[in-house]
Amino acid sequence: MTNILNITQRKERASKMERRASEMLAELWPEISEEYLWDRKKAAGFTTMPRTMAYLMNMIGNLTKGQNAGMTYLTIWCRLFYSGIVELPSEKQMAFETGFTGERAVDTWRKRMRHLKRLGFIDYKGGADHDFQWVLVYNPHHVVCRLGTKVQPRLRAAWLDRAIEIGAKDMDELPEMAIKRREKEIAKKAADETKTKEETKKPLKKKVVRRKLIQSS
């Protein structure tokens, strides 16, 4: 019931924000119609990403100083579908898309990809075309939680504040923690059931009634 309420509340909040945005558009830019703006409901070719992406890119940049992999991460997300896995085109195209040019463009892009894997944001497997053809993108909020104190405290606090603001709940419990919790719950349930069965099988103890013999004199 709580989950249903949360979903309803989020939908109502989104509708309220859309109405407010439309009103502000009419007030501040009365000469601009919505036809001039990009509308995901009408346009094709879009993806879904966390609203915390700016913070995630800053974290990656901070953790890969001198070899900022933040833009490399964003270009992967821009090609991502809902499955969490994406097939990348040629390394040369990806390098150019990320902003790398020149003779060492591809090599520079490869280094950024290795950084992202080292930090735990992605994994990759080679295909017929190149070594980074298939990329698996992990939940970035989980990754930040695992990185812990490696993330700059102020940046982490700002990310968490933004996550709470947008109602993100996916950092509350890591998958490995959830698995352990479920395993404990299953083990406890099995132990309780076994205990109940054993108690059921136990024979009832017969009450020994001691009678006092009354001797008549």
- Domain borders along the chain are 48-166
Q: Which fold has domain 48-166?
A: Arc Repressor Mutant, subunit A (1.10.10)
* CA 12 – CA 27 distance, rounded (Å): 23
* CA 184 – CA 72 distance, rounded (Å): 40
Banded model confidence at residue 136, pLDDT cuts 50, 70, 90: very high
* CA 88 – CA 169 distance, rounded (Å): 30
Q: What is the pLDDT of residue 207?
A: 54
List residues bridging with 122 in a β-sheet.
137
| Res 186 pLDDT > 80 | yes
Closest CA to 91 of 127, 130, 137: 130
Q: What is the pLDDT of residue 101?
A: 97
Element (H, E) at 135: strand 134-137
Q: What is the pLDDT of residue 79?
A: 95
Banded model confidence at residue 32, pLDDT cuts 50, 70, 90: very high
| Res 47 pLDDT > 80 | yes
Tokens of 32: 């601009």
* CA 112 – CA 28 distance, rounded (Å): 41
Helix axes 70-77, 53-63, angle to 10 degrees: 140
Q: What percent of the chain has a predicted confidence (pLDDT) above 70? A: 87
| Window from 20-24, 88-92, 134-138, 155-159 with minimum mean pLDDT | 20-24
Give yes or no for a contact between 118 and 71, defined as CB atoms under 8 angstroms apart.
no
Banded model confidence at residue 215, pLDDT cuts 50, 70, 90: low
| Mean per-residue pLDDT of the chain | 87
Q: What is the pLDDT of residue 198?
A: 74
* CA 167 – CA 42 distance, rounded (Å): 26
* Pairing label, strands 122-125, 85-87: unpaired
Query: pTM of the full predicted structure?
Result: 0.77
